[in-house]
Chain A
Amino acid sequence: MNLSRRHFMEAGLGAGFAGAVGASFGLNASAETNKMPAWHLGYQNAPVNGYEPSQMKLVFGKAPSDLKGSLYRNGPAQLSYGDQHASHWFDGDGLIHRIAIEDGQAVHQARFVETRKRQEEQAAQAFLAPGFGTIGDESYSVQSADDTNAANTSVLVVNGELLALWEAGSAFSMDAETLETKGLKTWRDDLKGMPFLAHPKVEPDGRVWNLAVGGSRVGIYRIGANGALEDFGMVDIGRAAYIHDWTMSERHLIILVQPWINETFIPPVVAGFEWQPQHGLQMLIVDKDDFSNQRWVQAPPRMFYHTGSAWEESDGTIKFDAAFYKEPVLGVDGGTAEIRGEWIGEYASEEGILTLVEIPPQGDAKLIETGVIGEFPQVDPRFRGKHRNLVALASGASANRPGSTALAVHNWTSGESQSFMFGDNRMVEEFLFVPKAGGQSDLDSWLVGPVLNIKSGVREICVFDAANVSDGPVCIWQADYAWPLGFHGTWA
């Protein structure tokens, strides 16, 4: 086959799939009934009991023989009760997916995290709990943050234990095989109910670092590869900045204090944000061996959700990559209209710019913007905190609908970028690096991630060779149904 790379998916696969699979499965029927746009498939409810294990079909290419493991993902999948829509995308109940890949086969399954919020709202068939964009019902009691925990943002596997993550409350312990909810995770008795951010940082040897954010006070978790809490400390970041993600090098934790401030953090949380660009983007650099050894660094104002990872040069310069915005996006007005099937296109001009942050041993940080736009930056887990080449992003915003249309990979060593355009019919989500067997560099990796085929109304799991993304997928498995868009995943 000699297909144009850019139009590969459309020409080579789109038409074939549509004919072979049709649009009668899964959630698509409901979308058509409601006269919703096709992309609204990404914002519909998953079945109440999730999805039983179901074999996906290899519809393109040859599955790499060394690709063995599970892609776990999390995302909001209860976005309406009858005519009542969730007030914000971030407030839907977390659905945990597992796509188990072995011997060229892929099996998908998913279950909701059985939070108190979900159990009471399912019983009432109505949204009750307050949240990021939700005031909540007066009758719904809130005695701790976990009473509002949606457990919908990411997943972590540490020492074989699967955790469903949210950012303002505890992690939930899950069964890694059946995806059953076991209960709230308490790392130590005196830390019961402390938040556990949805972006823990895992060192190549398995040690996990994470933050607990409460206004200007931030807790730091250090968890051994054996899953036991090794240390917990507190630092002060000066102001109640919104912290969704942060970054880490081999020796330092880097807490980004963006000038997007929320002093109250009372539901609806989104109403309490204030953009204060006069502060710029400040960063607190914390010594991993001594949390009291700190340094502040100043950068121009930027808003962000996600970082890639940091590394340190021999002269002590710290570098990291992130998707930066000139001003706040999504949280302010976004995440509401999409649930209702409305697209106002306001984000088309506000795209995350892949940016390299250089922090010299002394002085202010420098921001180096690339021409790459995108979100959900990911790096090879073997090189977290270390010097590496690649960062992968979901890229290519569409003027016609929310979500990404492409997978992009930028190489910091060569300065070159590659991308693969899936086109307007596929919504592209976060792709994860999976090291190839025996590989030494992050160029020796697979990229594994989901797309939502809105033309055929089905889900696909795609595998790329990280060094040759523009060649198109190595293989694609397809489910005969769709599931809603998610946020983040992990490979284990």
Chain B
Amino acid sequence: MTRTASFAALIAASMIATPIALASDLTVNVESIARTQGTIVLGLFDEATYNGDGAVDGANLKVEGNDVTVTFEGLEPGEYAVKLYHDVNDDGEMNTNPFGMPTEPFAFSNDAKGRFGPAKWKAAKFTVDADGTVHTIKLN
């Protein structure tokens, strides 16, 4: 899968926060994608960015099967979390119903789930080791 630069909505502001002590790779697998169309829009966050507008990094992953994979290279080891949604109709937005509830699938790292809101940082965070980490998220 290729990473593209069109993840602006979630992460644009964060691109300046390029890690300095480059070391680790993080591979994120997204599994159980129900509909083989559209794009998985994925954002990688650290604690400072998790509840804000920016992100540490991100990727738009074309869905051609039931799973997608992306590798973020040169991350500083530490704690991260992932938020993602499946842009099923490729309109570049996370669609919602008239009451504002998402109508497209979404997920968080650790398969964490929220309670009347997004999953909390504490539930979604995981560690990226110096030797590299693989993290798998189930979409449904």
Per-residue contact bits, chain A 174-217, to B (CB 8 Å; 1 contact, 0 not)? 00000000000000011111110000000000000000101001
B52 CB to nearest A CB, Å: 21
Stretch at the interface among A91-99, A141-149, A332-340, A421-429: A141-149
Instruction: Determine if A266 is an interface residue (Cβ-Cβ < 8 Å).
Output: yes
How long is the Cα–Cα vector from A140 to B103 in the complex, in angstroms?
21
Give how many B residues have a beta carbon under 8 Å from the other chain's beta carbons.
12
Q: Is A277 an interface residue (CB 8 A)?
A: no
CA–CA, A466 to B99, complex, Å? 42
Choose from B95, B99, B113, B114 the contact partner of A217 (Cβ within 8 Å): B99
A190-B97 in contact (CB<8A): yes
Compute how far the CA of A189 lies from the CA of B113 in the bound complex, rounded to whole angstroms.
22
Given A192-B103, A193-B101, does the pair A143, B114 have CB atoms closer than 8 Å?
yes
Interface size on A, residues (CB 8 A): 20
For the complex, give the distance between the alpha carbons of A142 and B116 in Å: 5
Q: Which of B92-128 contact A (CB under 8 A)?
A: 95, 97-99, 101-103, 113-116, 119
Residue A219 CB within 8 A of the other chain: yes
Cα distance A217–B99 in the bound complex, in angstroms: 8
Cβ contact within 8 Å between B99 and A190: no
Q: A190-B95, A194-B97 are in contact. Are A266 and B116 (CB under 8 A)?
A: yes
Q: Which residues of B contact A142 (CB under 8 A)?
A: 114-116
Return B47 CB to nearest CB of chain A, in Å: 21
Q: B128 to chain A: closest CB distance in Å?
A: 25
Instruction: Name the interface residues of A16-54: CB closer than 8 Å to any CB of B.
Output: none
Enumerate chain B residues within 8 angstroms of A212, measured Cβ to Cβ.
98-99
Chain A residues lying within 8 Å of B98, measured Cβ to Cβ, are 191, 194, 212, 214, 217, 219, 234
A138 located at the interface, meaning its Cβ lies under 8 Å from any Cβ of chain B in the complex: yes
- Of the candidates A145, A217, A266, which one forms a contact with B101 in the assembled complex, judged by CB atoms under 8 Å apart? A145
Closest to B113 in A: A141
From B95, B97, B101, B115, contact of A140 by CB (8 A): B115
Contacting residues of chain A (436-451) with chain B, CB-CB under 8 angstroms: none
Complex-state Cα separation, A266 to B103, whole angstroms: 21
A255 to B111, CA, bound (A): 41
User: Would you list 17 pairs from A and B whose C-beta atoms are within 8 A, ordered by A residue?
Assistant: A140-B115, A143-B113, A144-B102, A145-B101, A190-B97, A191-B98, A192-B101, A193-B101, A193-B102, A193-B103, A194-B97, A194-B98, A195-B99, A217-B98, A219-B99, A234-B98, A266-B116
